[in-house]
Amino acid sequence: MGFAFGYCARQRIRSDGIWAQPVVSIVGVFVGVALVPATLYLYSAHAAWSWLYLIDPERTTGFALVSVLAACVGAVGGGFYGAGKLLQREKDRLVLLVLAGIAVVLLLSAFLLRERLFSYGSYADFHRGRALPLGAVKLGYVLIALLIGLVAAVSFVVWEILRDARRVGSGYVQAK
């Protein structure tokens, strides 16, 4: 998401740098208001599913949550920063190629991990073949609500960033 936000903010980044306002604040608010709470909920309430049954959450420490949150926040921040650096060097096409690559990797991962994504149970239940279909448990419905909320939040962030870009393109300067 950070890479996409960076691409949307390309006019602001070119005119005022990577850490230009209001774009950085808008992305930061998205992370704090939407991404962090969703990550906290999914990891704390559905840890085995969050790890895609690759890691037994019973064997992890509480510090794992901090690592997961840091990875989520770092991915958005690092993606935004990376896109910003490329855009400052006029590498728009490369940014679009990276975005397409990220989309392909995500779709391929979802396809390859579909059995793990669409099953629900404990780590032991999944590995014993006793996991339930995702639609048969509350998490299936919660994910629909979370997805709608995150899509709405991302759409709002993109809209605000693009609105700011129009101000930059029109030469509008805010009073200081």
Listed by start position, the domains of the chain span 2-170
For 64-100, write each residue's pLDDT tens digit.
Answer: 899 999 999 999 999 999 999 999 999 999 999 999 9
Instruction: Identify the band that residue 175 occupies on the pLDDT scale cut at 50, 70 and 90.
Output: very low
Between residues 61 and 115, the one the model is more confident about: 115
Asked if pLDDT for residue 121 goes beyond 50, the answer is yes
Mean pLDDT of the chain: 93
pLDDT at 63: 86
pLDDT at 168: 83
Would you list the DSSP string of the chain?
Answer: -HHHHHHHTHHHHHHH-TT-TTHHHHHHHHIIIIIHHHHHHHHHHSHHHHTTTSS-GGGS-THHHHHHHHHHHHHHHHHHHHHHHHHHTT-HHHHHHHHHHHHHHHHHHHHHTHHHHTEES-HHHHHTT-PEEGGGSHHHHHHHHHHHHHHHHHHHHHHHHHHHHHHHHHT-----
Instruction: Identify the band that residue 104 occupies on the pLDDT scale cut at 50, 70 and 90.
Output: very high
For 134-172, write each residue's pLDDT tens digit.
Answer: 999 999 999 999 999 999 999 999 999 999 988 887 665
pLDDT at 172: 58
Instruction: Identify the band that residue 176 occupies on the pLDDT scale cut at 50, 70 and 90.
Output: very low
